[in-house]
Homo-oligomer: A and B are copies of this chain.
Amino acid sequence: MIRLSTAQSGFEAEFRALLDQARDTTAQVDAAVASIIAEVKRGGDAALLDLTTRFDRWTPEGGAAGLRVPASEIDAAQARCAPELLDALDLAATRIERFHAAQLPNDVELDDTLGLTLGMRWGAIDAAGIYVPGGKAAYPSSVLMNAIPARVAGVGRIAMAVPTPDGVLNDLVLAAAHRAGVTEIWRVGGAQAIAALAWGTDSIHPVDRVAGPGNAYVAEAKRQVFGRVGIDSIAGPSEVVVLADASQNPALIAIDLLAQAEHDESAQAILITTSAQMAHAVEHAVADHLATLPRAAIAGASWDKHGAIIVVRDWEEGAALVDRLAPEHLEVMVADPQALFARVRHAGAAFLGAHCPEALGDYVAGPNHVLPTGRTARFASGLSVFDFLKRTTWISAEKRGLDAIGPAAVALAEAEGLTAHARSIAMRLGQG
């Protein structure tokens, strides 16, 4: 953990070093992934079975059909879940549905007096692929966050791929998929899952867009199939910036920082505060929590390597630092959080006030927890219905509309040397 203060000389250099700190330890797997994708394109289902045996140490009975999880297995998994967990999932799903429905955009239709009508129509993609990591990082909340936006957008087919290392599949993940409206579940993971979703096999029909987090192989595979299908952004290690003034409870700030740090050692938690006293208090509170947290080894390593406490002179400085960090998550724990949030331009998601820890948004609040990392909130956004919608613009013209604006188009087409373009309009201008 580093301690910085904007009042110190040398701050700018230290802050830049923090910005440039490489946290993403992604292995170079380009060639391995290219070869896996080629294998799936060539071998289809047989390649999927081979790769699943090789990487997940598991082979389905009955060939490729056995990769699909049957409804009976989903029902059985759900029956094994604790009722209070199913209730929690349902509350989360209901709230996520409601928030994402509020995102649904309106079509545009624009008449002008010249005799032209212009429009923009939103439509859902036909099929979405949702990748869900398996094994130790099997997160039912992630299933809800990835699948619900697709369903709310109106996507008819939602195919989920989840690896089942050694054949093990998480009951709550299946229950979440069912609640979220996933229409098919495939026990396949890694680059081979992304390849199958993008290119299709005899069993798995290709989808139009792939979303969801994954390891380095999954991320690289998404990069390689980009263009063939749409992809969501490629997630890096998670991060939070907490803004806190002197009036806050340091123990709460400390646990919020550690909730971020416990994800993995590459995660980053940063406190920006106007109070040097609060900086000290939070540092001690972090140490206190670490003494009792089950994931203290991970959280402690993240805090040591990537954590930071920055003391600023005022919130103008603080907001400017936030914009340079463009954090995935931003907690604003100050007297007037809305006012300070209004001064920030770049953040994936914000959590306003003392009663709003980021974990609330990770699970049940409603907004998506799939968010831009690694300073990409400068230009990227969290997962939403927009990831599963596309637009078609349209133009309709009466003859008088063509007559009004056609000559300008002819002039520009001729200037660009595109004479068939010019002629396609000129021929119509002459006609009644």
Which residues of A are in contact with B by a Cβ distance under 8 Å? Answer: 84-85, 87-89, 91-92, 95, 98-99, 102-103, 105, 108, 110, 112, 116, 118, 120, 123, 125-126, 139-141, 172, 208-209, 223, 226-227, 229-230, 233-234, 251-252, 255-256, 258-259, 261-263, 289, 293-295, 299, 337-338, 341, 345-368, 372, 374, 376-382, 384, 386, 390-399, 401-402, 405-409, 411-413, 415-425, 427-428
Residue of B nearest to A104 (CB): B108
CB-CB < 8 A to A360: which residues of B? 395, 397, 402, 405-406, 409, 425
Residue of B nearest to A398 (CB): B355
CB-CB < 8 A to A424: which residues of B? 252, 255-256, 258-259, 357-359
In the complex, the answer to whether A141 meets B416 with C-beta atoms within 8 Å is: yes
- Counting from the closest, the 8 A-B pairs by CB-CB distance are A367-B393, A88-B408, A230-B379, A359-B421, A363-B409, A381-B391, A350-B394, A208-B379
**Bound complex: CA of A393 vs CA of B385, how far in Å?**
13
Min CB gap A110→B, angstroms = 5
Residue of B nearest to A337 (CB): B396
Min CB gap A225→B, angstroms = 12
CB-CB < 8 A to A416: which residues of B? 139-141
**Bound complex: CA of A158 vs CA of B239, how far in Å?**
29
**Bound complex: CA of A378 vs CA of B250, how far in Å?**
50
Min CB gap A245→B, angstroms = 17
In the complex, the answer to whether A295 meets B365 with C-beta atoms within 8 Å is: no
Interface residue from B252, B365, B418 paired with A427 (Cβ < 8 Å): B252
CB-CB < 8 A to A141: which residues of B? 412, 416
With known contacts A361-B395, A394-B349, A395-B361, A230–B409 Cβ distance under 8 A: no
CB-CB < 8 A to A390: which residues of B? 346, 372, 377-381
With known contacts A360-B405, A408-B87, A421–B259 Cβ distance under 8 A: yes
